[in-house]
C-alpha cells in the first residue's frame, strides 16, 4: 500500500509539471499493482488524450466505466474521446449515461448539445445547451454554441445576443468575437445590397458575375506590405481548428480593419480589381493572411456558410487569393492552388491574384523551405 501511495504522489507531481509521458509510465506501474484503481486508469486516459493517443484513451475509459459503472466522469471522458475519434453514436450514448447519473452535469449537457449541433440536430442541441445555461448562466462555451445553433436556424438576432452574453463572461473569447463581428458585417452587407438595388448605382453594363472562372491577374507587391504583415498578431495554423494545418501562422478575419497605410492602399486596389472581375460593386466580408511553412496547407474546402444559403447569396459570393511571396517552388509540394469541379491547378508567381466562386472547393499543400505569404478575401457582388 505504501508503494501505491508513493506512485500516486509521484504521478500527481509529474502531472502538475505537465510531464505526461513520465506520469503515464508511473500510472501504468500503479495499475499493474492495483488493477481496480479506476482513478489511475482515468488519469492514464486523460494523458493519452493530451498525447493524441485516442484509441488507447478509449480503452482506458472503457475500463474505467466497467470498474465503476456509476462514475459520471468516466462516461463523459469516454464520450469526449469517442467524439474526437468520430464515433458519434457511441459518444452520444455515453454523454447520455453521464447525464442519467448526474442530471445537472453542465459539461455533459454542453458536450451533448455541441455534438447534436455538429450533426444538425438543432432541436436537441438547443435543449441541452439551454439546460447547461440554466444550470450555469455564466458558462460561455454553452452560450457560444447556442449562438452557433441559432445562426444555423437563421436566427442571427438571437445568436447575436448569445455571443454578447458569452463575451460578457469571457471578454477574450476569440471565436465569439469573430462570430459577433461576422453578424454585424452580414447585417451591413444586407443593407448594402438593398441600397445598391434601390439606388441602382451599381455596374449597369452587363450582368454581374465573373468575367472568367477563375479570374487571374497580377498586382505588384510592395516590400513594405510583407514586412507589415509580419508585425501583425498571428495564430498557429494547427490551433485554428479549421481547414488550415501544419507549420505556419495566420491572422484573424479582419485584416483590413488594421490602420496601416499600406493595407489601405492594398484594400483600395483589390476592391477595384474585384469589382472589375465580377462587374459589380462589392462588399468585403472577410480579409486575412496565411503564412505557410514546410509541411503546411489547407485541406479541400469552400467558403460558403449557412448565412449564404439562408439568404440565397451563394451565387454572389467569391473568394480571392493574392500571393505576396510564393516561397520555395522547387519543393515537392510547391503550393499549387488546386481548384475543383473542374480541376484547375495554378502555380502562382509573386503578385498573382486569383478570384473564383466561393462555392468551388480548393486546396493547397506546401513543403518549401521559405515562407509562402498570401492575402485572402471573401466578398460579395452587390448586384
- Tell me whether domains 2-178 and 208-381 share a fold: no
Q: What is the pTM of this model?
A: 0.79
Q: For residue range 172-198, what is the model confidence (pLDDT) as tens digits?
A: 998 999 899 999 999 999 999 998 888
> Is residue 207 classed as helix, strand or coil in its secondary structure?
coil
pLDDT recorded at residue 169: 97
CATH of domain 208-381: 2.60.120.620
Q: What's the pLDDT at 141?
A: 97
Residue 225 exposure: Cα atoms within 13 Å on the Cβ side: 22
pLDDT per residue over 90-118, tens digit each?
999 999 999 999 999 999 999 999 999 99
Grid cell 501583425 in the structure block, residue: 232
Q: What CATH number belongs to 2-178?
A: 1.25.40.10
Average pLDDT per 10 consecutive residues for the chain, totaling 383 residues: 62 69 76 82 87 91 95 96 96 98 98 96 98 98 97 93 98 93 94 84 68 96 96 92 92 93 97 96 96 96 93 96 96 96 96 98 96 98 92
What pLDDT score was predicted for residue 60? 93
Which residues lie across from 296 on neighbouring strands? 366
Predicted local distance difference test score (pLDDT) of residue 35: 84
The predicted pLDDT at position 200 comes to 64
pLDDT of residue 40: 84
- End-to-end, the C-alpha distance of the chain in Å comes to 77
Task: Output the DSSP codes for 120-175.
Answer: T-HHHHHHHHHHHHHH-TT-HHHHHHHHHHHHHTT-HHHHHHHHHHHHHH-TT-HH
pLDDT number for residue 205: 57
Map out the domains of the chain as residue ranges: 2-178, 208-381
Largest Cα–Cα separation, the chain? 87
Task: Write the DSSP symbol of residue 222.
Answer: P
Amino acid at each position: 500500500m505504501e508503494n501505491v501511495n508513493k506512485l500516486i504522489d509521484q504521478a500527481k507531481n509529474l502531472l502538475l509539471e505537465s510531464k505526461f509521458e513520465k506520469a503515464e509510465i508511473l500510472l501504468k506501474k500503479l495499475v499493474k499493482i492495483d488493477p481496480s484503481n479506476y482513478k489511475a486508469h482515468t488519469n492514464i486516459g486523460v494523458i493519452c488524450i493530451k498525447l493524441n493517443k485516442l484509441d488507447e484513451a478509449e480503452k482506458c475509459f472503457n475500463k474505467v466505466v466497467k470498474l465503476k459503472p456509476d462514475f459520471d466522469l468516466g462516461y463523459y471522458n469516454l464520450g469526449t474521446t469517442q467524439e474526437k475519434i468520430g464515433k458519434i453514436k457511441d459518444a452520444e450514448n455515453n454523454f447520455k449515461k453521464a447525464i442519467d447519473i448526474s442530471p445537472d452535469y453542465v459539461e455533459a449537457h454542453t458536450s451533448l448539445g455541441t455534438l447534436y449541433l455538429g450533426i444538425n440536430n438543432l432541436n436537441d442541441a438547443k435543449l441541452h445547451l439551454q439546460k447547461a445555461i440554466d444550470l450555469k448562466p455564466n458558462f460561455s462555451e454553452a452560450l457560444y454554441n447556442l449562438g452557433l445553433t441559432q445562426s444555423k436556424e437563421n436566427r442571427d438576432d438571437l445568436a447575436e445576443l448569445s455571443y454578447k452574453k458569452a463575451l460578457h463572461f469571457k471578454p477574450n473569447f476569440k471565436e465569439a468575437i469573430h462570430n459577433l463581428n461576422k453578424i454585424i458585417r452580414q447585417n451591413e452587407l444586407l443593407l448594402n445590397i438593398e441600397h445598391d438595388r434601390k439606388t441602382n448605382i451599381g455596374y449597369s453594363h452587363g450582368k454581374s458575375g465573373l468575367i472568367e472562372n477563375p479570374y487571374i491577374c497580377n498586382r505588384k507587391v510592395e516590400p513594405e506590405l510583407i514586412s507589415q504583415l509580419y508585425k501583425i498578431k498571428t495564430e498557429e495554423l494547427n490551433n485554428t481548428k479549421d481547414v488550415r494545418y501544419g507549420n505556419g501562422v495566420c491572422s484573424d478575419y479582419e485584416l483590413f480593419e488594421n490602420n496601416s497605410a499600406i493595407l489601405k492602399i492594398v484594400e483600395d486596389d483589390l476592391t477595384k480589381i474585384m469589382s472589375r472581375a465580377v462587374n459589380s460593386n462589392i462588399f468585403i466580408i472577410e480579409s486575412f493572411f496565411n503564412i505557410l511553412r514546410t509541411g503546411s496547407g489547407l485541406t479541400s474546402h469552400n467558403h460558403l456558410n449557412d448565412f449564404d444559403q439562408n439568404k440565397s447569396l451563394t451565387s454572389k459570393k467569391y473568394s480571392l487569393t493574392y500571393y505576396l511571396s510564393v516561397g520555395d517552388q522547387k519543393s515537392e509540394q510547391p503550393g499549387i492552388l488546386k481548384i475543383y469541379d473542374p480541376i484547375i491547378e495554378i502555380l502562382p508567381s509573386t503578385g498573382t491574384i486569383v478570384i473564383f466562386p466561393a462555392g468551388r472547393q480548393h486546396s493547397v499543400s506546401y513543403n518549401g523551405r521559405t515562407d509562402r505569404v498570401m492575402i485572402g478575401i471573401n466578398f460579395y457582388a452587390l448586384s
